[in-house]
A = this chain, B = another copy of it.
Amino acid sequence: MKKKLLVLFFVFSVIELSAQFPDSLTRVEGDTIWFDARSLTIEGKGWVDTDSTFDRLPLKAKEIIPERVWRLSKNSAGITVSFSTNSKNIFVKWKNNNNTYALPNMPAISVSGIDLYYRASDNSWKYAGTGRPSPTFSSIAVFSAADEYPDKTDYLLYLPLYNGIAKMEIGILKGNEITPANVFDNNLKPIVFYGTSITQGGSASRPGLVHTALIQRQLNAKIVNLGFSGSGKMEIEMAQLISEIDASVYVLDCLWNMTDDLVKERTEHFIRFLRERKPDTPILLVEDSKYNYSSPSERGKILIGIFDKLQKEQMKEIYFLGAQNLLGKDWEGTIDGVHPNDLGFMRHTEEFLRIIKEILKIN
Protein backbone atom coordinates (compact mmCIF):
# COMPACT_ATOMS: atom_id res chain seq x y z
CA MET A 1 0.00 0.00 0.00
CA LYS A 2 1.60 3.19 -1.15
CA LYS A 3 0.68 6.12 0.99
CA LYS A 4 1.30 9.67 0.10
CA LEU A 5 0.37 12.75 2.01
CA LEU A 6 0.02 16.08 0.34
CA VAL A 7 0.26 18.85 2.79
CA LEU A 8 -1.21 22.27 2.63
CA PHE A 9 -1.15 24.63 5.51
CA PHE A 10 -2.79 27.92 6.01
CA VAL A 11 -2.58 30.04 9.07
CA PHE A 12 -4.86 32.76 10.11
CA SER A 13 -5.36 34.35 13.43
CA VAL A 14 -8.60 33.94 15.29
CA ILE A 15 -8.81 36.78 17.71
CA GLU A 16 -10.36 35.87 21.01
CA LEU A 17 -10.49 32.24 20.05
CA SER A 18 -10.61 31.26 23.68
CA ALA A 19 -14.06 32.71 24.00
CA GLN A 20 -15.20 30.20 21.40
CA PHE A 21 -13.96 27.14 23.28
CA PRO A 22 -16.90 25.46 24.98
CA ASP A 23 -16.48 23.34 28.06
CA SER A 24 -17.69 20.26 26.28
CA LEU A 25 -15.12 18.03 24.60
CA THR A 26 -16.83 18.01 21.21
CA ARG A 27 -18.56 20.60 19.10
CA VAL A 28 -19.69 20.93 15.50
CA GLU A 29 -18.93 23.94 13.34
CA GLY A 30 -19.98 23.79 9.70
CA ASP A 31 -18.38 20.70 8.15
CA THR A 32 -15.93 20.25 11.00
CA ILE A 33 -16.25 18.32 14.23
CA TRP A 34 -13.92 19.64 16.90
CA PHE A 35 -12.47 17.56 19.73
CA ASP A 36 -10.77 18.97 22.78
CA ALA A 37 -7.20 17.63 22.61
CA ARG A 38 -7.63 16.43 26.21
CA SER A 39 -9.99 13.73 24.93
CA LEU A 40 -7.20 12.25 22.78
CA THR A 41 -3.92 10.60 23.90
CA ILE A 42 -1.52 12.95 25.67
CA GLU A 43 2.01 11.61 26.14
CA GLY A 44 5.35 13.01 27.24
CA LYS A 45 4.22 13.82 30.75
CA GLY A 46 5.95 12.34 33.78
CA TRP A 47 2.96 13.07 36.04
CA VAL A 48 -0.79 13.03 35.72
CA ASP A 49 -1.48 15.51 38.53
CA THR A 50 -0.37 18.66 36.73
CA ASP A 51 -1.80 22.14 37.15
CA SER A 52 -2.80 22.26 33.48
CA THR A 53 -2.99 19.28 31.09
CA PHE A 54 -0.01 20.40 29.02
CA ASP A 55 2.37 21.14 31.93
CA ARG A 56 5.49 19.09 32.52
CA LEU A 57 5.78 19.05 36.33
CA PRO A 58 3.23 18.06 38.98
CA LEU A 59 1.42 20.75 40.92
CA LYS A 60 3.27 19.82 44.12
CA ALA A 61 6.55 20.88 42.46
CA LYS A 62 5.47 24.50 42.52
CA GLU A 63 6.41 24.95 46.17
CA ILE A 64 9.73 23.11 46.10
CA ILE A 65 11.54 24.10 42.91
CA PRO A 66 12.86 27.50 41.75
CA GLU A 67 10.14 29.75 40.37
CA ARG A 68 11.83 29.89 36.99
CA VAL A 69 11.78 26.10 36.63
CA TRP A 70 8.10 26.09 37.52
CA ARG A 71 7.40 28.73 34.88
CA LEU A 72 9.35 26.77 32.26
CA SER A 73 7.53 23.57 33.21
CA LYS A 74 4.48 25.18 31.60
CA ASN A 75 6.26 25.08 28.22
CA SER A 76 5.00 22.00 26.42
CA ALA A 77 8.36 20.74 25.11
CA GLY A 78 8.12 17.04 24.27
CA ILE A 79 4.42 16.72 24.99
CA THR A 80 2.49 15.03 22.20
CA VAL A 81 -1.13 14.45 21.24
CA SER A 82 -1.81 11.29 19.32
CA PHE A 83 -4.89 10.01 17.61
CA SER A 84 -6.09 7.92 14.73
CA THR A 85 -8.38 9.27 12.03
CA ASN A 86 -9.55 8.71 8.47
CA SER A 87 -10.39 12.36 7.89
CA LYS A 88 -8.86 13.81 4.75
CA ASN A 89 -8.45 17.12 6.52
CA ILE A 90 -7.12 17.59 10.00
CA PHE A 91 -7.47 20.94 11.68
CA VAL A 92 -5.67 22.08 14.78
CA LYS A 93 -6.61 25.15 16.77
CA TRP A 94 -4.50 26.20 19.69
CA LYS A 95 -3.98 29.06 22.05
CA ASN A 96 -0.54 29.53 23.60
CA ASN A 97 -0.30 30.25 27.28
CA ASN A 98 2.27 33.01 27.16
CA ASN A 99 3.32 35.82 24.86
CA THR A 100 6.79 34.61 23.94
CA TYR A 101 5.96 34.31 20.27
CA ALA A 102 9.53 33.75 19.06
CA LEU A 103 13.13 34.10 20.31
CA PRO A 104 16.13 35.73 18.58
CA ASN A 105 17.61 32.26 18.04
CA MET A 106 14.37 30.33 17.51
CA PRO A 107 11.62 30.90 14.95
CA ALA A 108 7.99 31.27 16.01
CA ILE A 109 7.15 27.83 14.58
CA SER A 110 9.52 26.22 17.05
CA VAL A 111 8.76 28.39 20.06
CA SER A 112 4.97 28.49 19.75
CA GLY A 113 4.03 26.28 16.81
CA ILE A 114 3.08 22.66 16.23
CA ASP A 115 4.39 19.80 14.13
CA LEU A 116 2.34 16.89 12.79
CA TYR A 117 3.61 13.43 11.82
CA TYR A 118 1.75 10.36 10.57
CA ARG A 119 2.55 6.69 10.65
CA ALA A 120 3.47 5.46 7.18
CA SER A 121 2.77 1.97 5.88
CA ASP A 122 6.31 0.85 6.76
CA ASN A 123 5.53 1.82 10.38
CA SER A 124 7.92 4.81 10.33
CA TRP A 125 6.83 8.31 11.27
CA LYS A 126 6.69 10.82 8.43
CA TYR A 127 6.49 14.59 8.56
CA ALA A 128 3.01 15.80 7.65
CA GLY A 129 3.28 19.52 8.22
CA THR A 130 3.82 22.45 10.48
CA GLY A 131 1.38 24.82 12.16
CA ARG A 132 2.57 28.40 12.38
CA PRO A 133 1.45 30.27 15.45
CA SER A 134 -0.10 33.67 15.25
CA PRO A 135 1.33 36.60 17.19
CA THR A 136 -2.14 37.17 18.60
CA PHE A 137 -1.77 33.80 20.35
CA SER A 138 -4.58 31.88 18.69
CA SER A 139 -3.78 29.88 15.63
CA ILE A 140 -5.20 27.33 13.29
CA ALA A 141 -3.40 24.90 11.03
CA VAL A 142 -4.99 22.78 8.32
CA PHE A 143 -3.38 19.56 7.21
CA SER A 144 -4.76 17.83 4.13
CA ALA A 145 -4.27 14.21 3.23
CA ALA A 146 -4.39 13.34 -0.46
CA ASP A 147 -7.11 11.23 -2.09
CA GLU A 148 -4.88 8.18 -2.12
CA TYR A 149 -4.64 8.28 1.64
CA PRO A 150 -8.07 7.28 2.91
CA ASP A 151 -7.24 4.83 5.69
CA LYS A 152 -7.51 5.41 9.35
CA THR A 153 -3.99 6.25 10.35
CA ASP A 154 -2.08 7.27 13.46
CA TYR A 155 -1.01 10.87 13.87
CA LEU A 156 1.49 12.33 16.28
CA LEU A 157 1.37 16.03 17.09
CA TYR A 158 4.26 17.80 18.80
CA LEU A 159 3.40 20.81 20.92
CA PRO A 160 5.38 24.09 21.20
CA LEU A 161 8.91 23.89 22.59
CA TYR A 162 9.19 27.25 24.34
CA ASN A 163 5.57 28.12 24.90
CA GLY A 164 2.65 26.20 26.32
CA ILE A 165 -0.88 25.32 25.40
CA ALA A 166 -3.78 27.03 27.12
CA LYS A 167 -6.30 25.22 24.95
CA MET A 168 -6.21 22.96 21.91
CA GLU A 169 -8.81 21.43 19.62
CA ILE A 170 -8.38 18.89 16.83
CA GLY A 171 -10.94 19.06 14.02
CA ILE A 172 -11.93 16.46 11.46
CA LEU A 173 -14.40 16.46 8.59
CA LYS A 174 -17.93 15.33 9.39
CA GLY A 175 -18.59 11.70 8.60
CA ASN A 176 -15.11 10.62 9.68
CA GLU A 177 -13.77 9.10 12.86
CA ILE A 178 -11.12 10.11 15.34
CA THR A 179 -9.98 8.00 18.29
CA PRO A 180 -7.23 8.31 20.90
CA ALA A 181 -4.22 6.22 19.93
CA ASN A 182 -1.42 4.82 22.07
CA VAL A 183 1.23 5.04 19.44
CA PHE A 184 4.42 4.22 21.33
CA ASP A 185 6.00 0.93 22.30
CA ASN A 186 4.28 -0.02 25.54
CA ASN A 187 6.99 -2.48 26.52
CA LEU A 188 9.50 0.32 26.80
CA LYS A 189 9.34 2.58 29.83
CA PRO A 190 9.82 6.28 29.10
CA ILE A 191 13.27 7.74 28.55
CA VAL A 192 13.56 10.79 30.80
CA PHE A 193 15.75 13.67 29.61
CA TYR A 194 16.65 16.24 32.25
CA GLY A 195 18.61 19.23 31.00
CA THR A 196 18.94 22.76 29.70
CA SER A 197 17.67 24.89 26.82
CA ILE A 198 19.28 22.36 24.50
CA THR A 199 17.15 19.53 25.89
CA GLN A 200 14.11 21.80 25.76
CA GLY A 201 14.70 22.23 22.04
CA GLY A 202 16.75 25.39 21.46
CA SER A 203 17.27 25.88 18.53
CA ALA A 204 15.37 23.26 16.53
CA SER A 205 13.49 24.83 13.62
CA ARG A 206 10.26 23.09 14.62
CA PRO A 207 8.99 21.01 17.56
CA GLY A 208 9.57 17.67 15.83
CA LEU A 209 13.27 18.29 15.28
CA VAL A 210 14.67 18.47 18.80
CA HIS A 211 16.82 15.37 19.38
CA THR A 212 14.39 13.97 21.96
CA ALA A 213 11.64 13.98 19.29
CA LEU A 214 13.88 12.47 16.62
CA ILE A 215 14.96 9.73 19.05
CA GLN A 216 11.32 9.18 19.98
CA ARG A 217 10.30 8.52 16.39
CA GLN A 218 13.29 6.28 15.69
CA LEU A 219 12.69 4.14 18.77
CA ASN A 220 8.91 4.52 18.92
CA ALA A 221 9.57 5.31 22.56
CA LYS A 222 7.84 7.35 25.21
CA ILE A 223 10.00 10.35 26.07
CA VAL A 224 9.71 12.82 28.92
CA ASN A 225 11.44 16.10 28.09
CA LEU A 226 12.48 17.94 31.24
CA GLY A 227 14.66 20.58 29.64
CA PHE A 228 14.42 23.90 31.44
CA SER A 229 16.00 26.74 29.50
CA GLY A 230 18.81 28.23 31.58
CA SER A 231 17.55 26.45 34.68
CA GLY A 232 18.61 22.81 34.46
CA LYS A 233 20.70 23.04 37.60
CA MET A 234 20.34 19.70 39.36
CA GLU A 235 18.56 20.84 42.50
CA ILE A 236 18.06 17.78 44.70
CA GLU A 237 14.32 18.43 44.53
CA MET A 238 14.53 17.65 40.83
CA ALA A 239 16.19 14.31 41.65
CA GLN A 240 13.30 13.64 44.04
CA LEU A 241 10.80 14.47 41.32
CA ILE A 242 12.32 12.51 38.45
CA SER A 243 12.87 9.49 40.70
CA GLU A 244 9.07 9.23 40.77
CA ILE A 245 9.01 8.42 37.04
CA ASP A 246 9.40 4.75 36.26
CA ALA A 247 11.93 5.27 33.49
CA SER A 248 13.94 3.03 31.16
CA VAL A 249 16.83 5.53 31.24
CA TYR A 250 17.49 8.82 33.00
CA VAL A 251 19.53 11.19 30.82
CA LEU A 252 21.24 13.96 32.81
CA ASP A 253 22.43 16.76 30.53
CA CYS A 254 22.67 19.89 32.68
CA LEU A 255 26.26 21.10 32.34
CA TRP A 256 25.64 24.22 30.25
CA ASN A 257 23.43 25.65 33.00
CA MET A 258 25.84 24.92 35.85
CA THR A 259 28.98 26.59 37.15
CA ASP A 260 31.99 24.45 38.01
CA ASP A 261 31.11 24.83 41.69
CA LEU A 262 27.51 23.77 41.15
CA VAL A 263 28.66 20.67 39.27
CA LYS A 264 30.97 19.76 42.18
CA GLU A 265 28.36 20.52 44.77
CA ARG A 266 25.30 18.88 43.24
CA THR A 267 26.00 16.26 40.60
CA GLU A 268 27.34 13.37 42.65
CA HIS A 269 24.71 13.93 45.31
CA PHE A 270 22.00 14.01 42.61
CA ILE A 271 23.18 10.76 41.03
CA ARG A 272 23.50 8.93 44.35
CA PHE A 273 20.02 10.01 45.36
CA LEU A 274 18.60 8.75 42.07
CA ARG A 275 20.55 5.48 42.30
CA GLU A 276 19.23 4.87 45.81
CA ARG A 277 15.62 5.41 44.77
CA LYS A 278 16.00 3.53 41.49
CA PRO A 279 18.71 0.89 41.98
CA ASP A 280 18.40 -0.63 38.52
CA THR A 281 17.54 2.23 36.18
CA PRO A 282 20.37 3.27 33.85
CA ILE A 283 21.66 6.80 34.32
CA LEU A 284 23.35 8.47 31.36
CA LEU A 285 25.60 11.46 32.06
CA VAL A 286 26.17 13.81 29.14
CA GLU A 287 29.11 16.14 28.61
CA ASP A 288 28.45 19.71 27.45
CA SER A 289 28.45 19.89 23.65
CA LYS A 290 30.86 22.31 21.96
CA TYR A 291 30.49 23.60 18.43
CA ASN A 292 34.26 23.42 17.86
CA TYR A 293 34.66 19.99 19.56
CA SER A 294 37.37 21.44 21.79
CA SER A 295 38.79 19.59 24.80
CA PRO A 296 36.61 19.17 27.91
CA SER A 297 35.45 22.30 29.68
CA GLU A 298 36.33 22.65 33.37
CA ARG A 299 32.84 21.48 34.33
CA GLY A 300 33.18 18.65 31.80
CA LYS A 301 36.34 17.50 33.57
CA ILE A 302 34.54 17.59 36.91
CA LEU A 303 31.72 15.47 35.49
CA ILE A 304 34.21 13.00 34.02
CA GLY A 305 35.90 12.83 37.45
CA ILE A 306 32.60 12.00 39.11
CA PHE A 307 31.83 9.37 36.49
CA ASP A 308 35.26 7.77 36.97
CA LYS A 309 34.79 7.72 40.72
CA LEU A 310 31.36 6.08 40.49
CA GLN A 311 32.68 3.54 38.02
CA LYS A 312 35.53 2.68 40.36
CA GLU A 313 32.99 2.12 43.09
CA GLN A 314 31.24 -0.18 40.63
CA MET A 315 27.98 1.74 40.76
CA LYS A 316 25.87 -0.16 38.30
CA GLU A 317 24.10 1.10 35.21
CA ILE A 318 25.96 4.38 35.02
CA TYR A 319 26.96 5.63 31.56
CA PHE A 320 28.71 8.60 30.01
CA LEU A 321 28.26 10.28 26.63
CA GLY A 322 31.20 12.45 25.57
CA ALA A 323 30.65 15.62 23.59
CA GLN A 324 33.20 15.16 20.83
CA ASN A 325 30.71 14.06 18.15
CA LEU A 326 27.51 15.68 19.42
CA LEU A 327 27.70 18.58 16.98
CA GLY A 328 29.82 17.10 14.20
CA LYS A 329 33.25 18.22 13.08
CA ASP A 330 32.51 21.16 10.78
CA TRP A 331 31.61 23.76 13.45
CA GLU A 332 28.27 24.37 11.68
CA GLY A 333 25.98 22.49 14.05
CA THR A 334 24.77 25.46 16.11
CA ILE A 335 22.88 28.65 15.48
CA ASP A 336 24.89 30.72 17.95
CA GLY A 337 27.87 28.71 19.14
CA VAL A 338 25.78 27.03 21.82
CA HIS A 339 22.34 25.85 20.70
CA PRO A 340 22.16 23.08 18.09
CA ASN A 341 20.44 23.90 14.83
CA ASP A 342 18.72 21.12 12.88
CA LEU A 343 22.08 19.86 11.72
CA GLY A 344 23.35 19.73 15.30
CA PHE A 345 20.22 18.01 16.59
CA MET A 346 20.44 15.35 13.89
CA ARG A 347 24.03 14.71 15.00
CA HIS A 348 22.95 14.66 18.65
CA THR A 349 20.35 12.08 17.67
CA GLU A 350 22.91 9.76 16.10
CA GLU A 351 25.11 9.90 19.19
CA PHE A 352 22.29 9.52 21.72
CA LEU A 353 20.68 6.70 19.73
CA ARG A 354 23.94 4.81 19.62
CA ILE A 355 24.41 4.84 23.38
CA ILE A 356 20.74 4.48 24.32
CA LYS A 357 20.42 1.40 22.12
CA GLU A 358 23.54 0.02 23.77
CA ILE A 359 22.10 0.69 27.24
CA LEU A 360 18.70 -0.79 26.39
CA LYS A 361 20.21 -3.63 24.36
CA ILE A 362 18.03 -2.95 21.35
CA ASN A 363 18.89 -2.70 17.63
**A interface residues with partner B (beta carbon < 8 Å):** 4-5, 7, 9, 11, 102-109, 113, 126-127, 129-130, 132-133, 203, 205-206, 208-209, 214, 291-292, 294, 331-332, 334-337, 341-344, 346
Identical chains in the assembly: 2
Least CB distance, A236 to chain B, in whole angstroms: 32
In the bound assembly, the distance between CA atoms of A130 and B106 in angstroms comes to: 13
16 A-B residue pairs with CB within 8 Å: A5-B292, A9-B336, A102-B108, A103-B107, A103-B108, A105-B130, A105-B132, A130-B335, A130-B337, A132-B336, A203-B205, A206-B335, A206-B336, A208-B332, A341-B341, A342-B343
Are A109 and B341 neighbours in the complex by a CB distance under 8 Å? no
Q: Is the CB of B7 within 8 A of A337?
A: yes
Least distance between A140 CB and chain B CB atoms (Å):
14
Are the CB atoms of B294 and A4 closer together than 8 Å?
A: yes
Query: What are the 4 closest A-B residue pairs judged by CB atoms, nearest first?
Result: A205-B341, A205-B335, A341-B342, A127-B331
A292 — which chain B residues lie within 8 A by C-beta? 4-5, 126-127
Chain B positions within 8 Å of A332 at CB level: 127, 208-209, 214, 342, 346
A143 nearest in chain B by CB position:
B337
Closest B residue, CB atoms, query A103: B107
The distance in angstroms between the C-alpha atoms of A344 and B113, with both chains bound, is 20
In the complex, what's the smallest C-beta–C-beta distance from A19 to chain B, in angstroms? 24
* Chain B hits for A343, CB < 8 A: 209, 342-343, 346
Q: Are A104 and B126 in contact, CB atoms less than 8 angstroms apart? A: no
Tell me the smallest distance from the CB of A202 to a CB of chain B, in Å: 10
Given contacts A126-B292, A127-B337, A343-B343, 8 further A-B contacts (CB under 8 A): A5-B292, A9-B336, A103-B107, A129-B337, A130-B337, A206-B335, A342-B342, A342-B343
Chain B's closest residue to A345 (CB) is: B343
Report the minimal beta-carbon distance from A129 to chain B, rounded to whole angstroms.
Answer: 6
Given the complex of chains A and B, what is the CA–CA distance between A88 and B105 in angstroms? 25
Which residues of B have CB within 8 Å of A9? 336-337
Contacts of A331 in B (CB 8 A): 126-127
Assembled-state Cα–Cα distance A105/B113 (Å):
10
A211 to chain B, nearest CB (A): 12
Q: Which residues of B contact A205 (CB under 8 A)?
A: 105, 203, 205, 335, 341-342
Name the B residues within 8 Å of A129 (CB-CB): 336-337
Complexed CA–CA distance, A203 and B107 (Å): 9
- List, in ascending order, chain B residues with CB within 8 A of A334's CB: 127
The interface residues of chain B lying within 8 Å CB-to-CB of A104 are 11, 102, 107-109, 113, 132-133
A107, closest chain B residue (CB): B107
Shortest CB distance A14–B (Å): 16
- Shortest Cβ gap from A212 to chain B (Å): 14
- Return chain B residues, CB-CB under 8 Å to A102: 102, 104, 107-108
Closest chain-B Cβ to A55's Cβ sits at a distance in Å of 25
Contact A107 B342 (CB under 8 A): no
Q: Point out the residues of chain B lying under 8 angstroms from A342, CB to CB.
A: 205, 332, 341-344
Does A335 lie within 8 Å of B107, measured CB to CB? yes
Q: Which residues of B contact A291 (CB under 8 A)?
A: 127
| A275 nearest CB across to chain B (Å) | 36
A335 touching B127, Cβ below 8 Å: no
